[in-house]
Amino acid sequence: MLTTLAAGIIVPLLLILWSSGGSLRRSPWPALAALLWYGYGLVHAAVGNVHAPREWDYACFWLYGHIAAAHGNIYDPAVFARFASPFTPSPEFRAAVLDVGFPYPPPSIGLFLPLGFIASVPAGLALWYAVQFAALAAAAWVLARTLMPDDGWRGALLVLALVAALPASLMNVNNAQTNFILLLLVALALRDRCAPVGAVWELLAVWVKPYAAVLLLYDAVRLHGRRLLVAAVTTAASLAAAALVLGPATLASYVRSNPATREPASAFTEFVNQSLLAIVLRTHAALPAHVWVLHEPLYLAGALLLAGLTIVLCARAGSRTEAAFATTLLLGLILYPGALSSYGLILIVPFLILWRGRDAFPGRAATVAAILAVTIVLQSARFQLGFEANVLTWLACAYLLLARRTQPERVAARVGSPSGVVARMPG
């Protein structure tokens, strides 16, 4: 508990030391020390889960992969009820998984299908964690090369330490979630945000976590026709591949009987759910068995307002594509009904972008460091206020977009630039 709370100090401190003009400027040692401390916690949690697998979330992934490998209909709850698994389901698991079916679009099965060919649960989980940690390392490298191009492996080490320290990273590992893979795809999408191939990364990210679909919003607002065409072709290719693996009948059942209509209301009101919808639903005295967003006018009003503001900000972003990317990404995180506390590790992307643009804020580095500190403390397991953390980060990114047009001339060119060194921040 204290370790995750301490991240509110350690993360901004690492950035301050890295960007200072002192002897520790760009030194890898503070980042390495933080990585060893927090990395040990992540690995320890993963090893413990392999030795004694928990019901969430790998049991879900195991079922998805094995049912698909057995050519069962992953959208039919009856198939889940009949399928023999090595797990004894709790009532909560039965209501949220067995009675719902595969909750993602058909192409998402590609993420879990390989697990269907690994009989041993511990062996499959160990491989699953190996892939997750490899994706995390690759994401750190891509983010460093994109936002800190002159810092090489030291920049990647810093990013890796920052991600490892985030409270949401430990939540992700505890639940064997997929957010490290998503982070890699989002990092690639950020790197290629002005190239057609970036739309491929965005669509692949959608199949990992559907809220990433909001990244296409910026392309639509700026009328990036080639990227939208690439996105359409990638979608068609993904659906064709899914039809080949699952069969057309399974895809048709997804359309006829969408699993979202079977999700229990508890999935959107549980404490770990940090979406706008969850905040609205928690104000209700009583809920129906299933929730439909069109029946929630307060959620719809908030979603339309936030989406409208984001569209206006992106439309006037000009060359500030990094800040527009971060603001749009946060919009998806806030509005996605299934956003959990563990999803918050994606905040490393706007964190790094805010730090790059710290000179645009009154108080400069001190102000951004304070924003990061408060956000991380809110995100911690002690408070579980991920929604508030996401909104605060969105507001900071929105401010970065609203800063005076002359402001980018004074923004540091790299994360590693010392405060006070001025250069034009590239788009």
Model confidence pLDDT, tens digit, residues 133-167: 999 999 999 999 999 999 999 999 999 999 999 99
**143, 18 Cβ separation under 8 angstroms:** no
| Neighbour count for residue 84 (Cβ, 10 Å) | 5
Q: How far apart are CA 303 and CA 293, in angstroms?
A: 11
The mean per-residue pLDDT over the stretch 210-222 comes to 93
| Across 121-130, 150-159, 208-217, 403-412, least confident range | 403-412
Q: Which of 110, 114, 348, 97 is nearest to 243 (CA)?
A: 110
pLDDT band (50, 70, 90) for residue 404: low
Q: How far apart are CA 116 and CA 57, in angstroms?
A: 15
pTM for the structure as a whole:
0.92
Of 257 and 298, the structure prediction assigns the larger pLDDT to 298
Residue 290 forms beta bridges with which residues?
264
Q: How far is CA 44 from CA 129, 133, 137, 173, in A?
A: 12, 13, 17, 10
Instruction: State yes or no: pLDDT of 111 exceeds 70.
Output: yes
**61, 129 Cβ separation under 8 angstroms:** no
Q: How far is CA 374 from CA 12, 377, 380, in A?
A: 10, 5, 10
Q: How far apart are CA 236 and CA 231, in angstroms?
A: 9
Q: How far apart are CA 201 and CA 182, in angstroms?
A: 10
173 sits in which H/E element: helix 167-174
Residues 46-88 have pLDDT tens digits of: 999 999 998 888 999 999 999 999 999 999 999 999 998 888 8
Q: What percent of the chain has pLDDT over 70?
A: 94
Residue 264 forms beta bridges with which residues?
290
Structure confidence at residue 382 (pLDDT): 83
User: Sign of dihedral through CA atoms 255, 261, 264, 265?
Assistant: positive
Q: How far is CA 261 from CA 75, 189, 226, 393, in A?
A: 12, 31, 34, 31
